[in-house]
Amino acid sequence: MKRAADLAPALAEAARTVARVASGRSLSDALERRAEGAAGGAVMDLSYGTLRNYGRVQALVAALSHKGAAQPALEALLWCALYALDSGRYAAYTVVDQAVRASALLELWSARGYVNGLLRSYLRQRDGLERRLASDASAVHCHPRWWLELLRSAYPERWQDVAAGGNSHPPMCLRVNRRRISVDDYAAKLAAAGMPARRTGESGLLLAKPAPLAEIPGFDGGEVSVQDAGAQCAAAYLELAPGQRVLDACAAPGGKSAHILETAAVELTALDVDEARAARIGGGLARLGLEAQVRVADCAASAGWWDGRTYDRVLADVPCSGSGVARRHPDIKWLRRAADLPAFALRQAAILDGLWRVLAPGGKLLYVTCSVFPEENGAVADAFCARTPSARRCDLPGGDPAQLLPGAEHDGFFFALLEKTR
CATH of the domain at 65: 1.10.940.10
Is residue 249 within 8 Å of 407, Cβ to Cβ?
no
Instruction: Tell whether 119 and 182 lie within a shared domain.
Output: no
| Active-site residue set | 370
Instruction: Tell whether 193 and 157 lie within a shared domain.
Output: no
Instruction: Tell whether 117 and 243 lie within a shared domain.
Output: no
For residues 216-243, give the mean pLDDT.
Answer: 98
Residue 193: CA atoms inside 13 Å, Cβ hemisphere, count? 17
CA distance 370 to 320: 7
List, in order, residues 6 or more apart from 11 with CB less than 8 Å away: 46, 77, 80, 81, 84, 98, 99, 102
Buried b (16+ CB within 10 A) or exposed e, 288-326: bebebebeebbbbebeeebeeebbbbbbbbbebbbbbbb
pLDDT at 2: 62
Instruction: Tell whether 41 and 181 lie within a shared domain.
Output: no
pLDDT at 41: 85
Query: At 175, which helix (H) or strand (E)?
Result: strand 173-176
Instruction: Tell whether 178 and 261 lie within a shared domain.
Output: no
Instruction: Tell whether 384 and 258 lie within a shared domain.
Output: yes
CA distance 188 to 191: 5
Instruction: Tell whether 148 and 282 lie within a shared domain.
Output: yes
Instruction: Tell whether 138 and 150 lie within a shared domain.
Output: no
* Three-state secondary-structure class, residue 104: helix
Residue 358 in this model has a pLDDT that exceeds 70:
yes
pLDDT at 3: 61
Residue 413 in this model has a pLDDT that exceeds 90:
yes
Instruction: Tell whether 405 and 316 lie within a shared domain.
Output: yes
* Inside any domain, residue 104: yes
Say which CATH number the domain at 203 has.
Answer: 3.30.70.1170
Domain span at residue 193 reads 172-227
* Inside any domain, residue 1: no
Q: Average model confidence (pLDDT) for the chain?
A: 94
Instruction: Tell whether 259 and 379 lie within a shared domain.
Output: yes
Total tally of structural domains belonging to the chain: 3
CA distance 183 to 178: 7
Instruction: Tell whether 216 and 87 lie within a shared domain.
Output: no
Domain end residue (candidates: 142, 158, 183):
142
Whether the pTM exceeds 0.85: the reply is: yes
Residue 406: CA atoms inside 13 Å, Cβ hemisphere, count? 27
pLDDT in tens, 269-286: 999 999 999 999 999 999
Instruction: Tell whether 374 and 385 lie within a shared domain.
Output: yes
